[in-house]
């Protein structure tokens, strides 16, 4: 290979001698042969002396005879001496015989590609219409796959305008980012031209071609909003349409900037890797994240649709209008859209108490960030292949949580004004994290940059220990790791505390390792009020006891009750709090009224039951009995049947509560669920199985399935095959692994790899029972080749690794897993693999701590038989 090309290889970014200004792009998809061809004319500005033009391309064949360079300042066009394609670097190098004239020019190329089945680039998705299987063509370009559709400068900072033309069969719907400018029908082909877009990044370009129905509405200021879905499902788009129209108005006010395009289309795609994608003016979704069926969708589905729509529409400002300069700043897009989607959902559905539910987001962030294999919010990205793995709980959830922490520190009004200023200042261009801090600093007068650097530039977070000595409170921060290991980090921590009531508040910044504050209160003291800060709190014994009675006497807010429980669980896992103390604390939540707190209690109890089963099986019956008794009060209050006019939150709770009771083997739940399932099999419209309890009932059905009595599995698969609702299919897939018979688990896993399960949905079936994890791991090893070939090019492969490796709790298993991947590691799974192995080590350490804990068996027995 010629030396002269080496300078362009193995570089994280493209050279900057040419800047794209406008793309005139024509695409011709062939939905039968699953191929596409296209031409692109790129208006570029040559800003430095060069004989080369270097741009991105991947999985395309470029016709080298079609490549022409025409400078605006010269009459003759140039053809390249050489057109070199570097597959590993995903670049196309064009070499010309002379130095290119500075200034504006046009670069013309023709190309061909495959409509792939990998759910990235320009791909195909299948659907049925009148019983016949058909293909649609869809784009998914984020993070770095526009280059798989057309040669381009595929980096967020290389913004340009796009003039798109699609040539498609005349009976199909063809959509792009902008409204149609002109449509010509020639026989059975139509040529659709779209208006030129405003300036935007390549990863937001979109096109969809297929058969669709739609519902439409308009915002008060005349923006046409449509929801497109499969023919016959248009009614299922109405809820999302209503949310979208209201959300656009809400964001227009909040950002003090109107939505910047003339129309907004949202479309449900049957095969889609992520949840949704915020393409400018044409947002694509998984069906489960956009469609809502009054009869068959659960409350959880309704909430999912609302928050995903709000998240994607937030991106139309935060991401699309103002775009991160490079993927290092991805969290600006995702953390912010996550946070503001809660703001929107709260505005539309105040009865959902969504800010309390937001704590689930921060818990997921804290859970991942408690690993030494975590990463800072801002990550150096050196190759396009590394980007996928940072679309994780750090960018989204920790990102959203530190934004909530900062907003609660600066105050809501100041925060909103600064954001509006930031959006107006950077509209149509790119921004870095520092630009957001600068706007917030100007508006608030606080040293935001200094405050936030410790949260975005280093990984992890602190646990703040609080001790009461001689009427003084001693605060000390140390980095928290779930493994209980020591680490070096230090943060600027916004400390808030309440003493005996929410009226008596204090706050200060803990900038050093430790600090002392005067405190004369004899009552309870709660630190990190409403868990607004991204840190954990550890109390001394006397403060803990007071908080426990404050929980029982309902003195604390739901957010604070949640925070105490979740921190105690994390501290127990890290070996800093005996399991008996955690269990005793859990007993204080028996009459807990709040959905989000109960939901966390459910998840903690499931994790504790699993680790106890590994540590000391003799404790398991008593532990399960304690947990079943713990949830009895709520189960009786809520019952199996929904009540007239009940709250959205009760509907959410019912499904989670009974699924957990089924997993713990609660006999009454199992009998009732199986009775209702039989009624459902006889009559699909029975009122005995409303959508909110279906998953719980399916779990209960699978709990009873064995190799000798498999009728429940066969019936569930029959329901799976009949339904065309994606939400129902994923509900069933999520329940199949609950069976305790390893032979059945193997059969279920093999079913996941058949044509009957779309490749986007396989990950829902990977959560198997404790009894099935060994079989699942062996199945994964045996099918590695197939799994790697099918999912290895996208981020879904990481879900296999975490789901199948993390549940183990022995060092031997960690070594076996490491050995297996020693020769099979792919760069795209390395981060996830290390994190999963660390979780196995943490489990192993936790298990040892439990085995060595004195008096645990007596404590568990006392709790199991306690009479309420």
Nearest Cα neighbor of 373 from 832, 853, 842, 844 is 832
Spatial neighbors of 520 by CB under 8 A, at least 6 apart, are 471
CB contact burial 223-234 (16+ within 10 A = b; e otherwise): bebbbbbbeebb
d(CA 642, CA 110): 60
- Pairing state between β 472-479 and 462-469: antiparallel
How many Å apart are CA 140 and CA 501, to the nearest integer?
A: 51
Number of CB atoms found within 10 A of residue 471's CB? 10
Question: In whole angstroms, how far apart are CA 7 and each of 4, 12, 744?
Answer: 7, 12, 55
Q: Is 312 a catalytic residue?
A: yes
Cα separation of 210 and 125, whole Å?
A: 9
**How many other CB atoms are there within 10 angstroms of residue 627's CB atom?**
26
- Within a 13 Å sphere around the CA of 726, how many CA atoms are in the beta-carbon half? 26
Could you tell me the maximum CA-CA distance found in the chain, to the nearest angstrom? 93
Decide: 206 and 229 in contact? Cβ < 8 Å: no
Q: Is 470 left (phi over 0), alpha (psi -120 to 50) or beta?
A: left
User: What are the φ/ψ torsions at residue 103 (nearest 5 degrees)?
Assistant: 105, -165
How far apart are alpha carbons 357 and 170 in whole angstroms?
47
CA distance 139 to 35: 13
Which of the 8 DSSP states describes residue 353? -
Tokens for 208, please give them. Answer: 């969809």
Using DSSP bridges, classify how beta strands 493-499 and 505-510 pair: parallel, antiparallel or unpaired. antiparallel
> If you ran DSSP here, which 8-state letter would residue 100 be given?
P
Strands (E), 480-630: 493-499, 505-510, 514-518, 525-527, 536-539
| Integer Cα distance of 824 and 822 in angstroms | 6
CA dihedral sign of residues 312, 315, 321, 325:
negative
Count of positions (residues) in the chain: 868
Residue 398, both tokens: 């920790």
Give the gyration radius of the chain's Cα atoms: 28
Three-state secondary structure of 510-562: ECCCEEEEECCCCCCEEECHHHCCCCEEEECHHHHHHHHHHHHCCCCCHHHHH
In three-state secondary structure terms, 223 is: coil
Please tell me which residue in 84, 142, 312, 386 is annotated as part of the active site.
312
Residue 108, C-beta contacts closer than 8 angstroms, at least 6 positions apart = 39, 40, 41, 42, 66, 67, 68, 69, 70
Q: Which residues of 699-732 are buried (b: 16+ CB within 10 A; e: fewer)?
A: bbbbbbbeeeebebbebbbebbeeeebbbbbbbb
How many other C-beta atoms lie within 10 A of the C-beta of residue 537?
Answer: 24
Would the CA dihedral through 602, 606, 608, 612 be positive or negative? positive
Query: How far apart (Å, rounded) are the C-alpha atoms in residues 377 and 307?
Result: 22
Asked whether 54 and 67 are in contact (CB, 8 A), the reply is no
Q: Report how far residue 399's alpha carbon sits from residue 338's, in angstroms, rounded to the nearest whole number.
A: 8
Task: Compute the distance between CA of residue 117 and CA of residue 773 in angstroms, rounded to an integer.
Answer: 30
The number of helix segments (H) and strand segments (E) in the chain equals: 26, 29
* Parallel/antiparallel/unpaired status of strands 132-140 and 430-431: unpaired
Which residues are annotated as catalytic? 312
């Amino acid at each position: 290979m010629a030396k002269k090309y080496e300078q362009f290889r193995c570089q994280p970014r493209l050279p900057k001698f040419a800047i794209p200004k406008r793309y005139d792009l024509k695409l011709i998809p062939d939905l039968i042969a699953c191929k596409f061809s296209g031409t692109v004319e790129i208006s570029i500005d040559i800003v430095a002396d060069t004989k080369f033009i270097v741009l991105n391309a991947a999985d395309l064949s470029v016709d080298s005879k079609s490549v022409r360079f025409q400078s605006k300042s010269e009459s003759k066009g140039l053809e390249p001496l050489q057109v070199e394609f570097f597959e590993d670097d995903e670049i196309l190098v064009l070499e010309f015989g002379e130095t290119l004239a500075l200034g504006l020019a046009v670069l013309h190329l023709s190309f061909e590609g495959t409509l792939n089945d990998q759910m990235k680039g320009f791909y195909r998705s299948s659907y049925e219409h009148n019983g016949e299987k058909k293909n649609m063509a869809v784009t998914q370009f984020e993070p770095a796959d526009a280059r798989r559709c057309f040669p381009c400068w595929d980096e967020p900072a290389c913004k340009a305008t796009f003039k798109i033309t699609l040539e498609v069969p005349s009976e199909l719907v063809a959509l792009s980012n902008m409204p149609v400018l002109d449509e010509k029908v020639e026989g059975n082909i139509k040529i659709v031209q779209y208006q030129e877009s405003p300036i935007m990044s390549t990863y937001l370009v979109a096109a969809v071609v297929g058969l669709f129905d739609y519902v439409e509405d308009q915002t008060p200021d005349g923006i046409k909003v449509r929801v497109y879905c499969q023919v016959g499902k248009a009614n299922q788009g109405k809820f999302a349409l209503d949310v979208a129209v209201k959300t656009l108005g809400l964001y227009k006010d909040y950002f003090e900037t109107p939505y910047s395009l003339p129309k907004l289309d949202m479309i449900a795609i049957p095969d889609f890797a992520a949840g949704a994608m915020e393409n400018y003016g044409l947002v694509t979704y998984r069906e489960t994240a956009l469609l809502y069926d009054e009869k068959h969708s659960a409350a959880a589905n309704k909430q999912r649709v609302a928050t995903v729509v709000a998240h994607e529409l937030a991106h139309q400002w935060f991401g699309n209008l103002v775009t991160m300069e490079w993927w290092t700043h991805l969290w600006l897009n995702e953390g912010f859209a996550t946070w503001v989607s809660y703001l929107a959902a709260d505005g539309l559905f105040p009865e959902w108490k969504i800010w309390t539910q937001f704590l689930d987001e921060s818990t997921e962030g804290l859970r991942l960030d408690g690993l030494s294999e975590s990463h800072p919010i801002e990550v150096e990205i050196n190759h396009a292949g590394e980007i996928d793995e940072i679309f994780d709980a750090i960018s989204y959830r920790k990102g959203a949580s530190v934004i909530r922490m900062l907003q609660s520190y600066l105050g809501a009004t100041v925060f909103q004004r600064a954001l509006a200023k930031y959006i107006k200042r950077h509209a149509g261009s790119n921004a870095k994290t520092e630009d957001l801090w600068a706007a917030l600093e100007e508006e608030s007068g606080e040293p935001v940059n200094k405050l936030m650097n410790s949260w975005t530039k280093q990984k992890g977070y602190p646990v703040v220990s609080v001790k009461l000595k001689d009427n003084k409170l001693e605060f000390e921060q140390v980095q928290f790791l779930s493994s209980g290991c020591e680490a070096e980090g230090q943060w600027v921590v916004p400390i808030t505390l309440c003493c005996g009531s929410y009226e008596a508040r204090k706050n200060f910044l803990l900038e050093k390792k430790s600090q002392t504050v005067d405190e004369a209160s004899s009552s309870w003291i709660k630190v990190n009020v409403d868990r607004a800060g991204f840190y954990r709190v550890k109390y001394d014994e006397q403060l803990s006891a007071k908080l426990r009675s404050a929980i029982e006497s309902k003195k604390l807010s739901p957010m604070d009750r949640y925070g105490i429980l979740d921190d105690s669980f994390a501290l127990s896992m890290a070996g800093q709090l005996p399991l008996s103390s955690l269990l005793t604390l859990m007993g204080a939540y028996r009459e807990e009224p709040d959905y989000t707190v109960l939901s966390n209690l459910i998840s903690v109890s499931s994790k504790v039951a699993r680790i106890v089963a590994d540590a000391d099986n003799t404790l398991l019956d008593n532990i399960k009995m304690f947990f079943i008794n713990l949830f009895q009060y709520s189960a009786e209050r809520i019952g199996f049947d929904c009540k007239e006019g009940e709250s959205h939150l009760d509907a959410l709770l019912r499904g989670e509560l009974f699924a957990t009771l089924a997993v713990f083997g609660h006999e009454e739940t199992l009998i009732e669920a199986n009775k209702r399932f039989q009624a459902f099999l006889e009559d699909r419209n029975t009122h005995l199985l409303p959508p909110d309890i279906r998953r719980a009932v399916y779990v209960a059905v699978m709990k009873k399935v064995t190799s000798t009595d498999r009728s429940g599995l066969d019936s569930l698969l029959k329901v799976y095959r009949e339904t065309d609702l994606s939400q129902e299919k994923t509900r069933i897939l999520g329940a199949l692994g609950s069976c305790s018979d390893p032979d059945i688990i193997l059969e279920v896993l093999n079913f996941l790899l058949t044509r009957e399960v779309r490749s986007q949905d396989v990950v829902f079936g990977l959560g198997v029972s404790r009894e099935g994890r060994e079989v699942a791991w062996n199945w994964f090893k045996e099918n590695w080749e197939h799994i790697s070939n099918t999912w290895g090019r996208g981020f879904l492969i990481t879900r296999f690794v975490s789901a199948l490796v993390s549940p183990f709790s022995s060092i031997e298993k960690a070594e076996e897993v490491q050995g297996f991947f020693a020769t099979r590691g792919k760069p795209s799974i390395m981060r996830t693999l290390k994190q999963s192995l660390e979780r196995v080590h943490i489990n192993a350490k936790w298990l040892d701590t439990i085995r060595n804990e004195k008096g645990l068996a007596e404590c568990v027995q006392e709790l199991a038989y306690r009479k309420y």
